[in-house]
Structure 1
Amino acid sequence: MSSTPALRPLSVAELDLDAPDGKVLALRPAPGGPALAGGDVYALVRLRGRPAATVVGTVAEGEDPAEVLAALARERLAEAGPRGDAERLAARSRSVPAGPPPRTSVVVATRERPGSLARALDSLLAQDHPDFEIVVVDNAPRTTDTRDLVTRRHTDRVRYVREDTPGLATAHNTGLAAAEGAVVAFTDDDVIADPHWLTALTEPFATDPGLGCVTGLILPARLGTPAQVLLESHGGFAKGFAPRLYDPAEPPADEPLFPFTAGSFGSGANMAFRAAALRQAGGFDPATGTGTAARGGDDLYAFVAVLAAGFRLRYTSEALVWHHHRDTWQDLRNQAYGYGAGLTAYLTATLVRSPRLLPALLTRLPRGLAYARTMTARRGETPEGGVPGEHGTQHHPWPASLSRLERRGMLYGPIGYAKARVATRQMRNPR
């Protein structure tokens, strides 16, 4: 595809209702976003503060944005029925909260992006979690910009750690080694965390000793470019609003490829691990992730490693971060290729480091390859009832060129992982 698709930008907002069919409590722009204007609007619907759905609507000149979006929200929430997520969330909001979440370390790996990091740190420092620390891992820095930001602005509340070996997984392992909390949360330098994010992400560990990982909801902070709109219209990083529990002792009936469907568990910009469980599972594979020849897959590897060690994984939409999607067409092309490469790189890493899983993978491989090909070829088709990234009735076809890039990335992934392993060994054992 030689040109960027002609897609209109959308404003991003938050709409808070007091009940699924109730009155509007608030309507505001997404964190850090501009004031709402007319035109297309993508809105997160909250029920008394708790994320419940997303809607897209067009606000004509002279219309009240709150009323337009509230009507769409009530219709969307009604589709779920009386036992839907909206009702469960509303009931949960009236329940007695669990005990305090455990002490947590928040690890943010970064490289030469002090502007976005400053924005992320501001949101992390505003968390309502009662007991946490922040560790910034400066990965293979070329300048002192990140260190200067941390030491000059946040030296009393943020710890700075330098890691000279490039690669996101290596940076995350460095953060894990430095972490003092019983739980270690990971997020990226291009997010804005909801004030309740860390509490919602870590509370489940207090009540479930067998829980090894929790992931959360990722929504777009901006939808101002065609690349951002296209990515989000096909799901983006969101995993829905229904809570999920993945238990290796009781594999989910609706995921026959479990646990090798790691992409459905969550994403690296919003994940937390029980520190002891992640360490027991061997941490992140340093030959995966951004910054290595593997191009990605470090988060997927960790999810499967923790599940394979016998721990449970939970997804909750109440733990929300707003992600700044890359804004150019070339960025989206790079992401498409990287997604494919990361998928097969993490599978390769899993087999190399846990060969006992090979029989289970082989029995699922034919079906898995067919599923992956279907997903890349028909990415634009969404389940009945919609998904968080679905833009109402709009349909933006996923370009065939991006599907081809994903498949090319899948073919490259094992090669990239092998190259990254060689590079990792050479860095550890220089001649």
Structure 2
Amino acid sequence: MKNTVLIPTYRRPLDLSRCLLALQAQTKPVDRVIVVVRDIDAQTWEFLAQFSPHNLPLHIVKVTVPGVVAALNAGLAAVEGDIVSITDDDAVPHPDWLEKINAHFICDRRIGGVGGRDWVHQGNKVIDDSRQIVGKLQWFGRVIGNHHLGVGEPREVDVLKGVNMSFRQEAIAQLRFDERMRGTGAQVHFEMAFTLALKQAGWKLIYDPQVAVDHYPAQRFDEDQRNNFNEIAFINLVHNETLVLLEYLPLFRRAVFLLWAILVGTRDSLGLVQWLRLLPSQGQLAGKKCWASLRGRWHGWQTHRQFKSQN
């Protein structure tokens, strides 16, 4: 099988260099590496002009629209081969990453996507907790991630994580990442829309903790600053999650999801119960998060209804 690796990047030349060096060290040589670069990203263009890849078939794609969705869709248009593997510029695939990915696709023609663990590095510490439940969508709409904590045997999942996910070209065909995802950078939950669409089409998605990358979360250059609250980023996150689930869940489960989301929610997408739980420790911040979550739900509902009315 021929493998293409797709990497969207923005203003992280040192991280990108580390990622590319890891691809050079793969036990299964990569057939093509596509790096998608913003037109205004002078730092990365300068780095790539000086970078001398050793046995690395590098192909650079320029994109003018901000956000990971536009970058990945531009990259997908340039993919060649049987398998496309996507990772972030701040990730370092383990040497046997492509070898293990290929093994899954070869053993079962029904597998459309493969993902694995991203070992998150925070300073000098590696998050080494463990979870058995990974990448699952519960019946009422709660999504359990835990991709960075997964242990155990390979198993079927509902959702893969953007930093470590691979797809069979035959499975994704003309499928593209949803351009309705809000945000100007990370566009959180973009991969959920993509992988749930594959699941809905009947393809199997596999999570294997041994398909691993080291993840060094780097600075983001948009409104989403990871652990720091930003109202716009919070609204965008909840909008994206809401839109994806409203379009994936059947009618009854859709209604249950909206009720649960508004009344309960999660730490990332607060409902009233989560607001009350966080109120003693976070005070006014909990209220801001809850209000942003409710606005995000409403915006997601509006986007969903608008799309339905146009189609």
TM-score, scaled relative to structure 1: 0.54
**1:398: Cα distance to partner?**
8.3
Instruction: State which of 142, 147, 152 in structure 1 corresponds to 2:45.
Output: 147
What is the CA distance between 1:289 and its match in structure 2? 5.8
1:305 corresponding residue in structure 2: 197
Q: 2:140 matched to which residue of 1?
A: 257
Q: Residues 339 and 189 (structure 1 numbering): CA distance in 2 closer, same or farther, change over 3 Å?
A: farther
Whole-Å separation in 2 of the counterparts to 1:419 and 1:338: 18
Kindly provide the CA deviation profile for residues 230-249 of structure 1, in whole angstroms up to 9, marking residues without a partner as x: xx59x7xxxx4648797xxx
Structure 1 position 257, deviation (Å): 3.5
Percent sequence identity over matched residues? Answer: 23
Q: Structure 1 residues 180, 373: CA separation in 2 closer, same or farther (over 3 Å shift)?
A: same
| Mapped partners of 1:298, 1:217: distance in 2 | 18
- Number of aligned pairs? 279
Q: Match for 1:129 among 16, 28, 43?
A: 28
Match of 2:19 in 1: 120
Alignment of 1:143-292 (within 5 A): 143=42, 145-154=43-52, 157-223=57-123, 240=130, 242=132, 255-257=138-140, 261=143, 263=145, 265-280=159-174, 282-288=175-181, 290-291=183-184
Aligned partner of 1:344 in structure 2 is 239
Aligned equivalents of 2:162, 2:50: Cα separation in 1:
28
Q: Whole-Å Cα distance in 2 between the matches of residues 357 and 305 of structure 1? A: 13
1:166 counterpart SS class: coil
In the TM superposition, what whole-angstrom CA distance separates every residue of 1:398-427 from its partner, at most 9, and x where no partner exists? 856776565455334357769999xxxxxx
Return 336-345 or 173-182, whichever deviates more. Answer: 336-345
Is the 2:5–2:85 Cα contact (8 Å) retained in structure 1?
yes
| Range with greater deviation from structure 2 (118-127 or 397-406) | 397-406
- Cα gap change, 1:419 to 1:376, in 2 (>3 Å): closer
Unaligned runs of 5+ in 2: 147-158, 275-279, 305-311
The question of whether the paired residues in 2 share the 8 Å contact of 1:168 and 1:289 is answered with no
2: distance between equivalents of 1:243 and 1:360?
21
What secondary structure does 2:170 align onto?
helix
Give the aligned residue type for 1:128.
Answer: T
CA contact (8 A) 1:337 1:408 kept: no
- The whole-number CA distance in structure 2 between the counterparts of 1:202 and 1:257 is 34
CA displacement at 1:154 relative to structure 2: 3.9
Provide the rounded CA distance (Å) in 2 between the counterparts of 1:363 and 1:413: 17
Q: Which SS does the other structure have where 1:181 is aligned?
A: coil
Partner of 2:37: 138
Q: What pairs with 1:66-77 in structure 2 (closer than 5 Å)?
A: none
Where 1:411 maps in the other structure, the secondary structure is helix
For 1:170 and 1:318, locate their aligned partners in 2 and report how far apart those are by CA, in whole Å.
29
Give me the whole-angstrom Cα distance separating, in 2, the residues matched to 1:270 and 1:162: 22
> In the alignment, is the contact (CA less than 8 A) between 1:295 and 1:342 conserved in 2?
yes
When the two chains are superposed, the root-mean-square deviation of aligned CA atoms in Å is: 3.9
C-alpha displacement of 1:189: 0.9
Contact 2:135–2:144, Cα closer than 8 Å, also in 1: no
* Structure 1 segments unaligned to the other structure (5+ residues): 1-101, 247-251, 380-396, 422-431
Deviation at 1:199, TM superposition (A): 2.2
Amino acid of the structure 2 residue aligned with 1:257: F
SS of the equivalent of 1:372 reads: coil
> In the alignment, is residue 107 of structure 1 matched against residue 6 of structure 2?
yes
**CA-to-partner distance for each residue in 1:266-287, whole Å, 9 max, x for gaps?**
321111122232235x310123
Supply the distance in 1 between the matched residues of 2:61 and 2:248 (Cα, whole angstroms): 33
Cα distance change, pair 300–245 in 1 and its aligned pair in 2 (3 A): closer
Partner AA of 2:208 in structure 1: T
Provide closer, same or farther for how the CA distance between residues 375 and 165 of structure 1 changes in structure 2, counting only shifts above 3 A.
Answer: closer
Q: Which amino acid aligns with 1:345?
A: N
**Which of the two has higher C-alpha Rg?**
1
2:211 matches 1:319: yes
In structure 2, relative to structure 1, the CA distance for the partners of 1:130 and 1:284 (3 Å cut) is same
